[in-house]
Amino acid sequence: MTRTAASRRLLMVMPYSQFVRKAAEAGFEVWAIWDPSLREREYLDEVAAHARELLLTDFGDEAGLRALIAETVRAHDIGTVLHLGAEESMPPAVAEAEALGVSPNPAAAVTALNDKAAMRELLAAHGLSPVRSQVAATAEEVAAAVARLPLPVVVKPARASGSRGIALVRDIDDLEEWTGRVTEGALAGPYLIEEFLEGPEFSVETLSADGEHHVIGITAKQTTGAPFFIETAHVHPAPLGPEERAALHAVVIGLLDLAGYRFGPAHTEIVLTAHGPRVVESQTRLGGDRIPLLIETASDYDIEAAIFRTLAGEPVEPPAPRHTASVGFFFLPAGRLRSVEGVDAIRALPYVQALHFPFQPGDELPPTTNSFTRHGYVVVDAESPAEARARIARVRGLLRADVREAALAAPEGVLR
């Protein structure tokens, strides 16, 4: 395919700094749009270092964001607009890109995947991954729906991420706890109420090109379980047999086909139940929790760079894992950090690929109620899942934190 000048001009909304660098390395001229309230100036400078121009706006002003996208596309003859960041600002960005004829995906496809209620409705309409569910507009409607349904059920905001606002409701006390939490967190509806899916959890990373979906890898997940279902560790590649792997591939590719997704990464979460794989949710972005680093550690495959190579016209070649990689998260008591030891010893371990512990003595550690309030992580490589578990355990043992615990106990379900 002949590449025109416009096809090499890329506008990215909310691009992480490495995305801009890797897009430039793939031969693109990049314009970037960010909300300055979401990142510190130093980080925005990193974004700007590899961009032709960094443009700043308020993502909460949807009309302003759309206007800036349109102005930039027309002023610079932009060939493609991509949004690979957080889902909250995707709808106006993709809608405007589609209206301008520079979106690689229909806006409807992005909505069908990112909105949990829309995704569930799409799957139900085609009999794929059947899950009993209802949608409620308000917390009051959730209470009425829960009263009609056999318990337990899972309740969650349809448009939130990072385990925010999710709960297993087994009785009225669970419902009251959830109602207070979503109210305090300003997590608005609609809300999805669905049957509780039992079984091991996985995430499936895909990369699509021209409507063809390629499975890049499957990651096994460990969570706290009820009530918050916060991820505690992941291992990649997931230890699965050929039949289980094929079943996960089929349901994820089926979902992407039904949604009409054409290009880019998708992160789909699955529970492998006794009745087969069931989709929990999907997003039109890369997986969080350092999953791209797990893939690269296990397979020497940079999925972030592959997005831009694919956009430039190169074929997608899924990797073959050669090692095991795992991420383990830190869960400490909530309270004031008096002292911490072991960070340097952890960094010195030859199998540690990344360590993130962003706290200093004197800092206040928040209670862990979702993925955003965990207390850091470590990424290790290994030759097997068992060795990876042992190495994560060793790292956690080396991190010795003296915390003056908060007066209120940490919420139920938080690991100590």
Dihedral of the alpha carbons of 310, 326, 257, 196, in degrees to the nearest 10: -160
What pLDDT is attached to residue 411? 44
Element (H, E) at 202: strand 201-209
| Beta bridge pairs of residue 217 | 205
Query: How many CB atoms lie under 10 A from the CB of residue 389?
Result: 18
User: In the chain, where does the domain assigned CATH 3.30.1490.20 lie?
Assistant: 132-195
Class of domain 132-195: alpha beta
The verdict on whether omega for the bond into residue 190 sits within 30 degrees of 0, i.e. cis, is yes
Please answer whether residues 114 and 92 qualify as being in contact, where contact means their C-beta atoms are separated by less than 8 angstroms: no
| Beta bridge pairs of residue 328 | 233, 378
Query: How many CB atoms lie under 10 A from the CB of residue 103?
Result: 22
**pLDDT string in tens for the chain (416-residue length):** 335 677 899 999 999 999 999 999 999 999 999 999 999 999 999 999 999 999 999 999 999 999 999 999 999 999 999 999 999 999 999 999 999 999 999 999 999 999 999 999 999 999 999 999 999 999 889 988 888 888 899 998 888 766 678 888 988 888 888 888 888 888 888 898 999 999 999 999 999 999 999 999 999 999 887 667 789 999 999 999 999 999 999 999 999 999 999 999 999 999 999 999 999 999 999 999 999 999 999 999 999 999 999 999 999 999 999 999 999 999 999 999 999 999 999 999 999 999 999 999 999 999 998 888 999 999 999 999 999 999 999 999 999 999 998 765 444 433 32
- Alpha helical stretches, state H, 150-225: 172-184
What pLDDT is attached to residue 6? 73
Burial of 273 (0-12, 13-18, 19+ CB in 10 A): middle
Element (H, E) at 352: strand 352-356
385: closest CA among 315, 321, 300, 293? 321
pTM here is 0.90
Please answer whether residues 377 and 328 qualify as being in contact, where contact means their C-beta atoms are separated by less than 8 angstroms: yes
Coil, helix or strand at residue 53: strand
6-103 placed in CATH 3.20.20.70: no
* 111-117+198-322 topology per CATH: D-amino Acid Aminotransferase; Chain A, domain 1 (3.30.470)
- Assign domain 325-405 to its CATH superfamily: ATP-grasp fold, B domain (3.30.470.20)
Please give the span between the terminal C-alpha atoms of the chain, in angstroms, as a whole number: 55
Please answer whether residues 145 and 135 qualify as being in contact, where contact means their C-beta atoms are separated by less than 8 angstroms: no
- Integer Cα distance of 145 and 193 in angstroms: 8
Element (H, E) at 201: strand 201-209
| Beta bridge pairs of residue 282 | 268
- What are the strands of the beta sheet with 29-34, ordered from one edge? 53-56, 29-34, 9-13, 80-83
In this structure, is the dihedral angle defined by the CA atoms of residues 5, 7, 11 and 14, taken in order, positive or negative?
A: negative
What pLDDT is attached to residue 227? 65
* Helices (H) then strands (E): counts for the chain: 13, 19
Read off φ and ψ for residue 405, nearest 5 degrees.
Answer: -65, 150
Angle at 165 between CA 162 and CA 167, to 5 degrees: 105
DSSP state of 272: E
DSSP state of 228: T
Coil, helix or strand at residue 229: coil
- Integer Cα distance of 195 and 121 in angstroms: 14
- Integer Cα distance of 38 and 47 in angstroms: 13
What pLDDT is attached to residue 325? 98
